[in-house]
Structure 1
Amino acid sequence: MSDEKQYDVVVLGAGIAGLTAAVRSQENGLSVALVEKTPAIGGSSAMSGGYMAFSGTEEQAAHGVVDSEDLFLADMQVVGQHMSDEKLLRAYLDSQTDTYRWLKAKGFGFRVLERSAGQTVARSHLSQIKDIVRSLADEFVAGGGDLLLDHRAVELVREAGSGGGGPRVTGVIVRGDDGVRTLSARAGVVLATGGFSRSEDLLRTFAPEQLAAIPYGGLGNTGDGLKMAWKLGAGLADMSYVSATYGSHPETTMEFHELLTAYYWGAIIVNTGGERFVDESQSYKLLGMAVLTQDQGLGFQVFDSKVRAKSEPGVPLADIDMLEDIGHVFSASTLPELAEKAGIDPVGLRATVDRYNAAIAAHGPDEQGRTGINSGVGDLLPIDAPPYYAYPAKALMTTTYCGVTVTPRSEVVDIDGDVIAGLYAIGEVTGGFHGAAYMTGTSLGKGAVFGSIVADVLAATVAVDANS
C-alpha cells in the first residue's frame, strides 16, 4: 500500500453493521476499504446470540404470528421508555423488509422464531450470525474490496470543502504493522466501531457502576469511533442508560458465552437472601441495572419443572439442558434443599415463593408489580411443580447501546444538530435508537438495516458528485 489510497467509502469496523455497509456499497458500484482493529472479523456481532428483530416476515406468517410495523414501533417505544428518537425507529421500520429480503436472498435463513425481551409478539429471528459475518467478509474480498485487519483508526481527516464549502470528513488515518497511512474517502467515512464495553475509561466517565458487571463484547470495543467523532463535536445520546445485560453465569468468559432468560417463561429472580427485587418481565438491560445493586451482584433465576420443560436445546437464551449438563444449574426436590445447594437463604426463598404463588392464585397485586411473564404478556405461573431449579447469574457488559447522534440517513450530527459532512455512523457506536433499554434482536437488526441505509445514501452522494 502507498501512504495514501483513494476509495469512495471507508468503513471502520467489521461487525454486522460494517460488513453490511461494505458489501452493499460494493453492490452499488463503490470502491470500499473495510478497516478492522482486531485480527478477526465479527466483533460483538459474532459473540451475540444471533437474533434479529423483523416484522411481517415469512417465518411469522408460518407460525401464525400477527405483527405490524405499528405494533413493532409501539413495543420499541415502550421498552425504550419513550426516550428513543422516533425518526430513527421509523427509518428502521421503513427499511427492515428490504434488509430481511437481502439477507434471505444470500441464503441466510432464520431457524427459530421467538418472542423475546420487549416483544408483545414473536419477532426475534435466530440467525447463524457467525456464518453471516464470515460469508459477507468473503463476498467483500472476492468482490475486490480491501479488508484491512489489525489496523486501528486513530484520527479522522477533515478538510475544507471544495469551492470554499464548509469542512468535510475526507478520510481517516490508520495504524497497522505496515505503518501509519491515510485512507481517503470521496463519499464518506462510516463509523461501525461498536460500543465501549471494553473501555474502563469511558465506563468510568459515563457509567462507573457498570464496572462491576462481567466485561464482555468484542475486544475492539474501546470507543475509538466515538472518541474520534466526539473530537469533531459530535453529539451524544443515551449515555445515561448504559447497562449490562442480566442472565450470564458468574464464570462466563470470552471463550464461552451463555445467557439464560428463564424469567421470560415464568421464573422469578431472587438475591442471596431469597428475596425478589425486580419485576422480572422487564428488559434484561433494566434487570441488569437492578442486579448490580444486590449482594455480590448476583440474582438467581428460580423455577420449577414447568419452566424446565420449555428448554430449547441449541437455542441461545433458552438451552437449560446444556447449562445443566455443564453443572451451572442447581436442582432439588424441595425449595429448602435447592436453597442450600445454591447458597440462597432457605427461609427467605420459601417465604418469597409462597407470597408469589398466593398472589397468582388470588389474582392479586404482585409485590414487584409483575403482571405478565414477558413485557406484561403471558399468564404468571406458580412455582409449585418439583423438581425445583436455580441458575445463578450476573450482569454481562455486552455492549453499551449509546453513542453519537445521527440522522435517519446515518449522518453524524454535532452538538448543535448540524450534520458533520462526510461522517456517518451505524450500529452500536450510535445513540438515540434504543433509549432506556433495548428489544432483543434490534441490536443486530439495526446494524444490518442502517448498514443498508448508509450504503444507499453513499451511492447517491457519489452519483451527485459525478454529475456536478
Structure 2
Amino acid sequence: MSVTHTFDLVVVGSGIAGQTAATAAAEAGLSVALLEKTEKLGGSSAMSGGWFAFSGTPEQSEQGIEDSAELFLSDMLEAGEHLNDRALLEAYLANQENTYRWLKDHGVQFREVEISSGMSARRGHNAAIKDVLATLHRDFEAAGGETHLEHRAVRLVRDGDRVTGVVADTPDGEVLFGARGGVVLATGGFSRGTDLLKIFAPEQLAAIPYGGKGNTGDGLKMAWKLGAGMADMSFVSATYGSHPETGEEFHELLTAYYMGAIIVNKDGRRFVDESVDYKTLGRVVLDEPEGLGFEVFDAKVRAKSHRGIPLKDIDTLEEIGHVFRADTIEELAEAAGIDPDALVQTVARYNAAVAGEAEDEVGRTNLCNGVGDLLPIDTAPYYAYPAKALMTTTYCGVTINPSGQVVDVDGDVIEGLYAIGEVTGGFHGAAYMTGTSLGKGAVFGGIVARHAAGRLTADRLVTDRTGAAEPAAPDRVDAVPVA
C-alpha cells in the first residue's frame, strides 16, 4: 500500500454534502482531500431535481409566502411521523439561514419557490443543481483542495479508538489517506446496493433503480464495521412519479398529483390519497398491477407546466413521448392501456366529490399536505402519465449527533468519524419532505467543516502550550457556514 501525505480532513463522496463540507473546510484554511468513487463528480445530487428546503428566505418574502422555522419543524415532524431525531432537525433549522446565505455567496440562484411533498408552505427552493455542484467544486480547488476521482474508500483506519484515515482503492492500487481532523463519510445511500436492499427492504427491489452509480452503501458498511448505530432502516421506500423508461439524462419525476391530477392503476381505480408524501406513494404503488400508477389530469393542470423545473415539467415529458393525450377520458384510457369504462366512472366520482356532492373515495381533501383546493378533471384535452416508484435514495443510515459525528450503537461518539447526507439516518423518520435531502447535505456539510476546524484549532492551542508535535490548525474558522 502506498501512503499519501496527511490532510486535515478527508471527505469521501462528492455530492452536495461532501462538496459543501470540502469547500467550506478548504475555505476555512484546512487541507482537504475529496475522494470520489466514480469517474464523475456529483453522485446522486447531480441527478436530483435541485430542490433545497429553507424557510424565512428573501424569495419567500418577495412572493408573500408565510412560513417560519416553527412551521418547518412541525412539517418535518409530521412527515416523519415524529420518529425523527429532533436534535438533528433543530440543528438544521439553527443553521439553515447561514447555509442559505453561504450558497448565495457562492453564486447559487434559486429560480423557483414551490410547495411539494411534506410541506404546508411553499419552501422548496429550486436551483440548477449541476451548476451548483460545479461552482462549489471550482471554489474548492481555488481554495487549495485536492480532488481524487476513481478513488473508492474501502476501509477506515484507526489509531486506538480514533479514526485517523481511510484506505482507497485506486487505479494505482490501495492508497492510505491520513486525516488529522477526521474522515467525513458523504457516500450517499444504497439505492444501487442490492445486497443491502435485500436485507433492509427487499420489496423495494421492485422499484426502478436510480441514484448515483456509486451508491452501493460503502460508507454505511465501513461505519457499521466500527459499531455505528443505524436509524430509519425500516422506512426505505422509493419515490413515486417516474416513467417506466426513465433514464439518467435528466431528472424525470412528475408530481402532477400535487397540481390537481389523480392517480389510477391499470384497472382505472384510484388506490391512494394523492396528497400524501411521494415516498408513501412510492411504497403503495408497488402493490398495484405491474407496480404502475397513471397520473391523470386535464388541460388546467397541463397549463401549470414549467419547462426546465423538475417535478413540473410536463412540456418536456410530452415532447419525449412519455405523456398520453386525448380529447375524451375514454379515448385517453384506450391510448394509455387503462380500463376505459372504469376510468370514466372514476373521474366522474372524483368530480362529484370535488363539487361536494359525495365523499371522496380515498379521503382526499386537498392537493398537497393540507394545502390547495381540488380541481375537477373536466377540461379537454386530457392527459395520462404512466409512472412507477423510483429508488432515488434510501433516506436512512448511520446515526450521528448534531455536530455530524458518527455515534455507535450505545450512543458514544466514534472519534474522528463524521457522516453527512444520505449515508445518515435519523433525520427524516418515516417519510421525506422535498428539499430536505439536498438541504441537510448542505447544512450538515457546513456543520462538520466548522466542527473539524474547531477541533484542529483546539489541538493547536494544546501544541502551543505543551510544545508537542500536533497538526496545524485552520486560519479561517469563521469562513465555515454555520451559526
Describe the SS at the equivalent of 2:181: strand
C-alpha displacement of 1:255: 2.9
2:65 matched to which residue of 1?
Answer: 65
1:433 matched to which residue of 2?
Answer: 427
Describe the SS at the equivalent of 2:153: strand
Aligned 1:3-14 pairs, distance under 5 A: 3-14=3-14
Aligned partners of 2:31 and 2:289: how far apart in 1?
Answer: 53
Describe the SS at the equivalent of 1:187: coil
1:83 matched to which residue of 2?
Answer: 83
2:474 matched to which residue of 1?
Answer: none
Runs of 4+ residues over 4 Å off in structure 1: none
Deviations 1:367-413 (A, max 9, x none): 21212100121111111112111100011110000000000100101
> Residue type matched to 2:289 in 1?
D
TM-score normalised by structure 1 residue count: 0.97
> Residue type matched to 1:174 in 2?
A
1:342 aligns with 2:336: yes
User: How many residue pairs were aligned?
Assistant: 462
Deviations 1:426-466 (A, max 9, x none): 00000000111111111101000000000000011101111
8 A Cα contact 2:296 2:385, kept in partner: yes
1:243 matched to which residue of 2?
Answer: 237
C-alpha displacement of 1:256: 4.0
1:445 aligns with 2:439: yes
Give the one of 301, 310, 313 matched to 1:307. 301
Give the one of 356, 360, 367 matched to 1:362. 356
Aligned partners of 2:387 and 2:329: how far apart in 1?
Answer: 18
> Residue type matched to 2:316 in 1?
M
Deviations 1:158-185 (A, max 9, x none): 121xxxxxx1111111110122121111
Aligned partners of 1:58 and 1:22: how far apart in 2?
Answer: 27
Give the one of 266, 275, 282 matched to 2:260. 266
C-alpha displacement of 1:2: 5.5
> Residue type matched to 1:51 in 2?
W
RMSD over aligned Cα atoms = 1.1
Describe the SS at the equivalent of 1:5: coil
1:333 aligns with 2:334: no
Give the one of 195, 209, 221 matched to 1:215. 209
Unmatched tracts of structure 2, length 5 or more: 463-483
8 A Cα contact 2:163 2:182, kept in partner: yes
1:288 matched to which residue of 2?
Answer: 282
Aligned partners of 2:193 and 2:2: how far apart in 1?
Answer: 32
2:110 matched to which residue of 1?
Answer: 110
1:140 matched to which residue of 2?
Answer: 140
Deviations 1:6-31 (A, max 9, x none): 11111100111001001111122111
Does 352-361 or 14-23 show the bigger shift? 352-361
Aligned partners of 2:371 and 2:207: how far apart in 1?
Answer: 29
Unmatched tracts of structure 1, length 5 or more: 161-166
> Residue type matched to 1:272 in 2?
K
> Residue type matched to 1:415 in 2?
V
> Residue type matched to 2:167 in 1?
I
TM-score normalised by structure 2 residue count: 0.94
2:312 matched to which residue of 1?
Answer: 318
> Residue type matched to 1:100 in 2?
Y
C-alpha displacement of 1:365: 3.1
Aligned partners of 1:383 and 1:108: how far apart in 2?
Answer: 38
Deviations 1:245-304 (A, max 9, x none): 110111112234311100001100000000001110011111000111100110000011
Aligned partners of 1:381 and 1:149: how far apart in 2?
Answer: 49
Describe the SS at the equivalent of 1:210: helix
Aligned partners of 2:346 and 2:206: how far apart in 1?
Answer: 27
Aligned partners of 1:365 and 1:431: how far apart in 2?
Answer: 38
* % identical aligned pairs: 66
Aligned 1:28-177 pairs, distance under 5 A: 28-160=28-160, 167-177=161-171
Describe the SS at the equivalent of 1:6: coil
